[in-house]
Structure 1
């Protein structure tokens, strides 16, 4: 029986007299690797991918290092005793694929230790694409030597044999096309014994980017920033650079110069993007610069594409990969640069399973392997700004837009003084501005970060509110589909004709606007306008989004109405007016980062306007125009606002001046959740610079049918939370069916 234990991987073949053991990490939630016997004649090294028995089935795993290279506060000494060698089960086979590099194995161990996750679950993010099967190799043909006696040498056959005289195997279709013959001629030579099959291996679908294909013309601060990034890549050592620039300042073009240098140096580059949808326009910009498209990695890519990209990362045939946060765990052959675009985006934090922030883990991977990392944003996170101000990160600033374009003029519309007409949500000032923009033949955008038709449906007769039965959340009306849906789980129900509480007929009414309701209003107010809605509910996947973006660029759209997906770095040269329907949305509640998130989102949305020669304008509808966020947007002074945020957080050692870790208890019943939460509260750590808040019901006290309680550990920056959490969790025994999830460095508090 395989059992976890410390092990040793030998570089020399085992001797038959002394059975040797290897540690194999499986992509499963075990606390560590398992020991297996090394069969005679099989040579294995750390990183090799193998097949091993596990119970009554077989599993794919990786031969693992016996001693993780971790800092003292993350290391967890093993308490397992080695199992007797005669009880070990043998490794079944070694797979014919590239081994996982040592730097990736160290990275996996580090992420597991930092997030308090089973290392196998971190490994699964690397190994799962491989476990779905490798790309099928294709077969090619070479001429048989000597040729069969009496072979009939027609002109078509002679052309094929002449092509193969160089000794390079070719597939049937390629060979026929190059010789100007039909595939039947190739098959005839095969049948005659004149050709024999050879394995070509997986086709390489990735073009080779040309660093000199179409370099941009950069001047002033842009040229300085580009050269600084080029030099960081040439130095080939760990560094982190914050590339901060106003929207439209050319950050993408500048960090592409770092990619060009990385390619020239013979190394691979990874670009992390916050949105799958954004990849379409980004890929086109990359192709214009380098002549080919990069490899793409995200959840909407098919299994074949993901397998090819995984293999291309491993053998180096994919020089540049752009993708979502999970691309960080690809087995790169020679990774030399990571770019995190829009580094402030919350989507880089994975909230379920292994909870990690891809921005922070990108920095860790760069440090472990010794290469530069670039964080790019117009609105950097407070954590990144703090690291830049203390000198831990280099800081490059781009204060002006590229090509002479000016920043848009921002106006806050006080909705208390000029409310919209009854039953409407757009002020008359907003409507007038849109009409003027459309009359000039320019494009306008309305932004509301709320999906559906309305966020709340209630009964006018009894006041009943339609709530999700599985979550502490209201049901959102989606009128086009005649449903009420929960945006936290998969609960959906038909829109009822009568109130389920008092049975009053036709008494249910929609409260507040969603994106569908604003679209309905826009059709009434601007009947001649060509309207396009960009929302994850209505746009579809990456392909549909790419087509929507192209139609905007071709000026086939007059008015764009969107949720937060329109804020992500799009370049619409004909868009001159951006209107924010509810600028106050997101400022309520007790979220630590509410103000920071709101100003980042609205600043990014505003940045879509006036990116070409025509000047831009931004209108913010607000009921609290005196709020610091609104005032900062009005003045355009993002940095002063962030300095004020920092001043508020530093005295209480809130991030980035302290450390946070959340414990989320979830159970099927309220009593079970309360019991485990009470245990945690009773055994809570204490000491100078250590504080525990809670237990208390989570803001979403019921989520997907499970009751939730939350505790928050806060410490000074100098105190590591992992050893504290390990001791704390070791003192608590949760009831069966009760789960305790750990979130290191939480960014949301739902």
Structure 2
């Protein structure tokens, strides 16, 4: 362990020995060896007959984490249980029995593992605590990180939150001295953070007649890496082949019949699919609106990038993609990542599943194809998400002995989140972002509650959302700011029209109780349903 790691592990050991509730943020740059610190703390908790829970944001990260934990505790013969939503009923029963009987004392899993029946829980580790994947979007709605902190409070246990780019909420808690903090400022063995180049795609577009998908510098670097026998990762935020089908003659876009988004073309079966509700149909040969033969596919998904890179690279280079379409096939993801680690794959093309926590020593080049995609979302957290994503993706490069390089392609290269991420300047970004949020009264300075109305009829849903807002204004709740109602950014989803209101408050528990009383008295139509989502993460 490095000096910094020993210091952080020592601080956690002190927390555990106090046998009292406490939360500690482990703020370490990407590749600084946070996992080794967690393992030291886990060993200390187990020494005192305690149970340990290790949470990761994505199911795809669980196998890598489990193998590292098993390897570390191999000599002591500790059993490690895996817990996530992809387990079969039999596997889940075995996991439940092993934990509740005390046969196994370590559980590793995604957000649902926070409820695992661990005996004498002493330590909970939440890795990549900033991830929005910890939030469960459908009932029961909860945030894995917050439940972990609360469970530690009930058990008087220690909670460790780890991240290179912590969420604003956690940083605010550190500022208010609610949480303690340990820092790892350097990568292991003094490795440098990768060199980040921001490529202005507007200039690239001027050079060629059609807007390019891959910039010239990135293509040259990919070829160079292949000839040096090093590996590369290309990162894109959407799956599918070409994003949308659009007719250049009349402007018709192929839409989903149940959701207000365009369908995505998938080359593997030639179908157009909706990524929200699963609706699919064969792609048309002519424009359904004006019968033009010019209907063309616009945009670029992972399948198209995979084809494009294959055509630009030497014949023998192996290019493979990883996205959610693949995660549905059992073990497909695991075997691909294993092949990549062994060096059988030269370029990995993927969506956000490969942005987090994975460790490949031979990767020296990372390309971010469409860096400003998160910035185009209608969400006050858009710049925070873009910053976190870029720092995390860049952190996949140069984790071995050779230095890494990152190419970030963007049509808005001067946006603050891209510039701060380029320098990995967390402090600068946080100061600017906190200032803006404080001014507007957004989280983490106040809690946000989203009230969503859904119904089959657009008029009815809008009418009841407006009536509810009127009732709230006529008879207001103390300490509650109301914004809206407005149509949700995705106005129609899975056949239901959606309108929402936002509430801002400093007293969530009291406000939610009062809202419940008002909801019970409000004459809502049977065909319109409403949902209260406290600390909403996705606002689409």
**Bin for the TM-score computed over the shorter chain:** over 0.9
| Pair 1:691 & 2:477 matched | no
- Contact kept, 8 Å, 1:277 with 1:541, in 2: the verdict is no
Match of 2:529 among 739, 743, 748: 739
Match of 1:549 among 326, 330, 337: 337
SS in 1 for 2:31: coil
Unaligned runs of 5+ in 1: 1-217
Q: How far did 1:728 drift?
A: 3.0
| Pair 1:508 & 2:308 matched | no
Match of 2:17 among 220, 234, 244: 234
Q: Give 2:465's aligned residue.
A: 677
Paired residues, number: 532
Match of 2:410 among 622, 638, 643: 622
Q: Give 1:200's aligned residue.
A: none
Q: How far did 1:270 drift?
A: 0.8
Q: Give 1:193's aligned residue.
A: none
SS in 2 for 1:380: coil
Q: Give 1:392's aligned residue.
A: 178
* Superposed CA offset, 1:622-676 (max 9, x none): 1111110111022221221012111111123210000111111111111321232
Q: 1-side partners of 2:223 and 2:27: how far apart?
A: 34
Q: 1-side partners of 2:208 and 2:62: how far apart?
A: 40
Q: Give 2:320's aligned residue.
A: 532
Q: How far did 1:720 drift?
A: 4.2
Q: How far did 1:689 drift?
A: 4.2
* Superposed CA offset, 1:708-748 (max 9, x none): 11011112468843233223323312111221111001111
Moved more, 527-536 or 376-385: 527-536
| Pair 1:724 & 2:510 matched | no
* Superposed CA offset, 1:249-305 (max 9, x none): 110110111111111111111111111111111112112211156100112211111
In the superposition, the TM-score normalised over structure 2's length comes to 0.95
- Contact kept, 8 Å, 1:280 with 1:542, in 2: the verdict is no
- Contact kept, 8 Å, 1:657 with 1:717, in 2: the verdict is no
Q: Which has the higher contact order (CA 8 A, sep 6+)?
A: 2
Q: 1-side partners of 2:61 and 2:508: how far apart?
A: 38
Q: 2-side partners of 1:426 and 1:553: how far apart?
A: 25
SS in 2 for 1:417: helix
Q: 1-side partners of 2:17 and 2:336: how far apart?
A: 39
For 1:298-317, list aligned pairs within 5 A: 298-317=84-103
Q: How far did 1:700 drift?
A: 1.3
- Contact kept, 8 Å, 1:457 with 1:466, in 2: the verdict is yes
- Contact kept, 8 Å, 2:245 with 2:295, in 1: the verdict is yes
Larger radius of gyration: 1
Q: 2-side partners of 1:456 and 1:228: how far apart?
A: 52
Q: 2-side partners of 1:647 and 1:718: how far apart?
A: 23
Alpha-carbon spacing, 1:557–1:718, altered in 2? closer, same or farther (3 Å): closer
Q: Give 1:375's aligned residue.
A: 161
Match of 2:57 among 259, 262, 274: 274
SS in 2 for 1:604: helix
Q: How far did 1:687 drift?
A: 6.0
Q: 1-side partners of 2:332 and 2:417: how far apart?
A: 34
SS in 2 for 1:624: coil
* Superposed CA offset, 1:412-449 (max 9, x none): 01112233744541111111111111111111111111
| Pair 1:652 & 2:440 matched | yes
Q: 2-side partners of 1:629 and 1:650: how far apart?
A: 18
SS in 2 for 1:418: helix
Unaligned runs of 5+ in 2: none
